[in-house]
Chain A
Amino acid sequence: MQADETLLRLEAVKKRFGGLVVLNNIDIVVGPNELIGLIGPNGAGKSTLFNVITAIYAPTEGRVSFRGKDITGIAPHRIARLGIARTFQLVRTFLTMTAFENVMVGAVYGAGARVKHATETANAALELVGLTARRDMRTAHMTLSDRRMLEIARAVASDPALLLLDEPMAGLNPTEIQRMVDVIRRVRCEKGISMLWVEHKVDAIMKVCSRVIVLDHGEKIADGTPRDVTQNRKVIEAYLGEPAA
């Protein structure tokens, strides 16, 4: 891959909370139109990685760059405007707003920063995730599954180049999970948005993603095709515990 095509590049990223090293020496490169699964046991540091990329936390060491520009330490809203959108593990929608208003925030203030066609952008994003019928419903009255969809619609409306999804399937039933898989595929195919997708439903990741990264105890232990990753010894140990001696 050409260097100038790179979207996101993490170089030797380290994050420490007090004495606890949560991310250690992480190198990751994300290119255009990639759908990358990011898996790892609880507490591996997946959400922290997202929080470092979106500047909720500053890395203790290392560098984050986006499209060749160093973005380490700049404000979260500037990162969003550069084209990195995200969802949250514990859904964060604007509860007193309607679904449409939620998505308008992304359309008006995100990377697209549209004033003119914001309404069309917002409606199209709601359509993409199948929430057109709930357009004027208050978010506080929506189901978890719809709120997760809404978060994705809001992110898509912001016209990002890269979308970080933090466990979009957590708490969803099998039907809703299938809907989510479809939505994630459509976001990639129709919008061409690259995604880094954290998920505990490993089978879904292996089916949909062409590349998988595995974190364990803050270390990147694997990065490759689903086939490579499932055969990786370290990954098997991380998921199944220490092998019997």
Chain B
Amino acid sequence: MSRASQWIAIVVVAVLALLPFVPGAVDAYYFSFLFFVFLYAVMAQSWNLVAGYGGQISLGSHAFFGLGAYTTAILWSGNYLWGSLYDSHPNIYYFDPVTMLLGGLVAAIAAVVIGLPLLSKLHGDYFALGTLGFGEIVKVIFVNGGDFTGGAFGIVAPASSFGTLRPHYWVGLGLMVATALAIRMLMRSRYGLALIAVRDDEMAASANGIDTLKVKVAAFAGSAFIAGVAGSLYTFYIFHVGPDSVFDLDWMLLPLMMTVVGGTGTILGPILGALVMYAVFDLARIVVPDYHPVISGLTIILAMLFLPKGMMRLSRKARVAGA
């Protein structure tokens, strides 16, 4: 990124961060719209890490999102973390970094456990199918988890105060920025070099000393961690965590489309894609509710036809041509 675009990014983030102070903004429609853009942008970055940069097409994002959401709801409703502190501070679980990190950690551990066998045995399409199957299995486990998971109904978190979306908005924005910066740093490190090497040519990567399985599993786990934290944030918004809501395939499909439209293997692509695609989906749902899937589907087809490498790749191409 050039100096100028870095400044633009900083200004945009600053404006977004100050937006909640604008009178009336919090109650406006676009406020919750932006919150969801942030959430989807984080999910898109998660998918981009393993699929865009790593070249391993995972179709299990929703499973990791749901694992993070459930972990948060279970820790909170069972008060497994803060003991008696919870009595004196009833809001202690809200956006609690420990709870959110544990949400990510549970998802990451699950990713390592299934990633090791899947990534060492399965390649390409079969890995994709394997992760899809994993998502279904996780969902069934949670539906049949008895009191611990609340069965088919799920868990209602013991919400107390926080009548406004402000903190959600800020945490969402913070997560989006933190994820983008973390992945940017990662991709400039020696690990990023290995990840691209594995994506470009696995055989050449291992012939040059890269432990390809380790690199792929790490990307899968990192991606799951991000999705788990996003799921945790969603729990603070939705309160009711159920198998049909947090394990919904949309939590995988939408971020995937957003990344593809925005530009896989780029830092800004997932964010841009989340903004544009969520706007299209939301607008279609409001304006033509019955035809919403048709409009959304058409947008994706058009995007793929005219932006085969995503919006970010288009701008890079223009830059190269202009240079």
Residue among A56, A96, A154 making CB contact with B208, cutoff 8 Å: A154
By the criterion CB–CB under 8 Å, are B190 and A108 in contact?
yes
Closest-CB distance, B166 to chain A (whole angstroms): 41
Closest-CB distance, A16 to chain B (whole angstroms): 21
How many inter-chain residue pairs (CB < 8 Å) link A and B?
A: 76
Beta-carbon contacts of B189-203 to A below 8 Å, as 1s and 0s? 010011011011101
Beta-carbon contacts of B249-281 to A below 8 Å, as 1s and 0s? 000000000000000010000000000000000
Query: Which residue on chain A has the smallest CB distance to residue B55?
Result: A96
- Tell whether B204 is near chain A: CB-to-CB under 8 Å: yes
- Tell whether B1 is near chain A: CB-to-CB under 8 Å: no
By the criterion CB–CB under 8 Å, are A92 and B204 in contact?
yes
Closest-CB distance, B203 to chain A (whole angstroms): 6
Query: Which residue on chain B has the smallest CB distance to residue A96?
Result: B200
By the criterion CB–CB under 8 Å, are A97 and B196 in contact?
yes
Please choose the segment from B29-37, B100-108, B209-217 that sits at the chain A interface, where 4 or more of its residues have CB less than 8 A away: B209-217
Closest-CB distance, B19 to chain A (whole angstroms): 37
Residue among B201, B209, B210, B265 making CB contact with A93, cutoff 8 Å: B201
Evaluate whether A109 and B196 lie within 8 angstroms (CB atoms) in the complex, with A93-B204, A115-B190 already known: no
- Tell whether B205 is near chain A: CB-to-CB under 8 Å: yes
- Tell whether A121 is near chain B: CB-to-CB under 8 Å: no
Evaluate whether A94 and B190 lie within 8 angstroms (CB atoms) in the complex, with A54-B207, A80-B207, A85-B207 already known: no
Residue among A56, A97, A111 making CB contact with B209, cutoff 8 Å: A111
Most chain B CB within 10 A, of A77, A92, A108, is at A77
By the criterion CB–CB under 8 Å, are A110 and B193 in contact?
no
Closest-CB distance, B121 to chain A (whole angstroms): 15
Q: Which residues of A sit under 8 angstroms from B194, Cβ to Cβ?
A: 105, 108-109
Q: How far is the CA of A101 from the CA of B265 in the complex (A)?
A: 16
A68-99 interface (Cβ within 8 A of B): 75-77, 80-81, 85-86, 88, 92-97
Evaluate whether A109 and B204 lie within 8 angstroms (CB atoms) in the complex, with A94-B197, A97-B197 already known: no
Evaluate whether A77 and B209 lie within 8 angstroms (CB atoms) in the complex, with A94-B196, A96-B196, A97-B196 already known: yes
Total count of chain A residues near the partner, CB < 8 A: 29
Closest-CB distance, A154 to chain B (whole angstroms): 6
Closest-CB distance, A71 to chain B (whole angstroms): 14
Q: Which residues of B sit under 8 angstroms from A95, Cβ to Cβ?
A: 200-201
- Tell whether A40 is near chain B: CB-to-CB under 8 Å: no
Q: How far is the CA of A129 from the CA of B133 in the complex (A)?
A: 48
Beta-carbon contacts of A150-193 to B below 8 Å, as 1s and 0s? 00001100100000000000000000000000000000000000
Closest-CB distance, B97 to chain A (whole angstroms): 31
B159-189 interface (Cβ within 8 A of A): none
Q: How far is the CA of A155 from the CA of B199 in the complex (A)?
A: 19
By the criterion CB–CB under 8 Å, are B206 and A75 in contact?
yes
Q: Which residues of B sit under 8 angstroms from A92, Cβ to Cβ?
A: 201, 203-204, 207
By the criterion CB–CB under 8 Å, are B201 and A105 in contact?
no
By the criterion CB–CB under 8 Å, are A158 and B200 in contact?
no
Query: Which residue on chain A has the smallest CB distance to residue B190?
Result: A108
By the criterion CB–CB under 8 Å, are B207 and A101 in contact?
no
Q: Which residues of B sit under 8 angstroms from A115, Cβ to Cβ?
A: 190
Q: Which residues of A contact B (CB under 8 A)?
A: 54, 56, 75-77, 80-81, 85-86, 88, 92-97, 101, 104-106, 108-111, 113, 115, 154-155, 158
Which 5 residue pairs across A and B have the least CB separation, nearest first? A109-B209, A92-B204, A94-B200, A80-B209, A76-B206
Q: Which residues of B contact A (CB under 8 A)?
A: 190, 193-194, 196-197, 199-201, 203-212, 265
Some 19 contacts from A to B, beta carbons below 8 A apart, are A56-B203, A77-B209, A77-B210, A77-B211, A81-B209, A86-B207, A88-B204, A92-B204, A94-B197, A96-B199, A101-B196, A105-B193, A105-B194, A105-B208, A108-B193, A109-B194, A109-B208, A155-B208, A158-B208
Using A77-B206, A92-B204, A113-B209 as known contacts, list a sample of 20 further A-B pairs with CB atoms less than 8 Å apart, ordered by residue number in A: A56-B203, A76-B206, A77-B205, A77-B209, A77-B210, A88-B203, A88-B204, A88-B207, A92-B203, A92-B207, A94-B205, A96-B196, A101-B193, A104-B193, A106-B208, A108-B190, A109-B208, A109-B210, A155-B208, A158-B209
